[in-house]
Amino acid sequence: MKEGKVVSWLKAEGDPISAGEAIMVVESDKADMDVEAFEDGFLAAIITAEGDSCTVGAPVALIASEEKDIPALQAYAASLSGAPVPAASAPPVATIAAPVAAAAPAAPKAAAPKAASGSRVVASPLAKKLAEEKGVDLSTVVGTGPEGRITAGDVEKAAAGGAPAKKASAAAPAKPAWTPAAGVIAATPMARAAAKKAKIDLSTIQGTGEYGRVTLDDVKIATGEKKPIRKETAKGAAAPVELPSGLVPFTGMQRAVAKNMDATLSTPVFRVSREIEMDEFDTLYLSVKSKGITVSALLAKAAALALEKYPVINSSYTREGTVFNPDINIAMAVAIDGGLITPTLKYANERNIMDLGENWKELVQKAKDGKLTPDEYNSGTFTISNLGMFGVSQFDAILPSGMGGILAIGGTQEYIVPCNKAVLGMKKVKKMTVTLTADHRQIYGADAALFLKEFNAIMTNPSVLLL
């Protein structure tokens, strides 16, 4: 390497620095490198600006051992023109070379430099910190320290309204925040190495380091190796919700559900949907609700009567042919704590609605208590999954293994439809969308359509459910 380019300065002029602390980034032929300070002091003057290049060994900045020496070194840096500078008495000074340390010419003794050089405001680190905390613009404060330097006391007076302000003409514009040179992504060397290893484009990572620099932690967060640091909750805002984290082993029921779902992947299915008017059904339900009859019992009875007429929907597939089930057992999907289970209303087409209602209440309670027998949840020949009570308008259910069909029940919604008998030619009706998922190996589209047509006829003339 013969020449390097200064990508960025991590410290500003006047900032205190410590030995071993990274203060600049230099771009070589192959990588960006952090350059560390080799002794304690203050970054007095920057000679090589960001984006500029210089030869190896040439001074790029001056370091003062004492804070009071900064103005003299700034004046010396301003006088550099490339020609040798006569040696003279000067405060202790060190130079930063690009990208390695080298001896610097001695700085001449500066004559009473002013607190500000050009647009620069000279203030002690404590004064800068206080100004930031109290919202004081340092360019409007008159310094009373050595060589006109702004002290913490000057800032305190300015914040209290007792310090004289500089004239507007003397105010210097604030130094703009550092931005990397065109085409350069600011990142630490370790972050670059980690991103290269993980094959991640640094431009896609939001840097959290100084001046938006990408750090090693930023790369680790992007790869998932490290979790993002939770931001502090703003004052007055609601505390963050503690969400579950990490692996939670399946219960026996959850493992069984997952296994059953895996088994369905080999079944070729199709789906058919239909809207059903629900006004008559709702009227019937309200008339029998006080007797303990639930919507689930009514739906099971309606599906069972439709399956009587189209038994192929109640069948199951085998390699040898279609197996028609002699009974109609309606399995009803129920979500319980820690899983999903399907209590079954056996012989639903043969039993009256009161009997089905009582049986359903018993089955649901057993399911919640974990006391269902295998015959009470494994004997279904057709399944109903109802999510309407959760406000779901329409959904597709997964066909259970070994069955021919499952009926997904959506929620009831109100619609305005044309009506010749209405005064305004319009009326309000309630509709529900149902979707049948069927095994296409033994059930065809016409079979599904005819089944839904019969189910619709029963739901719109629900008095048959009470017979």
**Residues with catalytic function:** 440
- 56 neighbors 50 (Cβ within 8 angstroms): no
What is the number of helices (H) and of strands (E) in the chain? Answer: 11, 18
Tokens at 429, concatenated:
């009706």
Burial state string for 211-237 with b = 16 or more CB within 10 A and e = fewer than 16:
eebbbbbbbbbbeeeeeeeeeeeeeee
- 36 neighbors 59 (Cβ within 8 angstroms): no
| Closest C-alpha among 17, 172, 167 to residue 96 | 17
Please report how many Cα atoms fall inside a 13 Å half-sphere around the Cα of residue 70, on the Cβ side.
27
Q: Is the peptide bond before 343 cis (omega within 30 degrees of 0)?
A: no
- 298 neighbors 285 (Cβ within 8 angstroms): yes
| Closest C-alpha among 110, 21, 34, 7 to residue 43 | 21
How many whole angstroms separate alpha carbon 254 and alpha carbon 50?
A: 60
Task: Indicate the DSSP class of residue 89.
Answer: -
How many whole angstroms separate alpha carbon 297 and alpha carbon 295?
A: 5
How many whole angstroms separate alpha carbon 457 and alpha carbon 434?
A: 13
- 409 neighbors 357 (Cβ within 8 angstroms): no
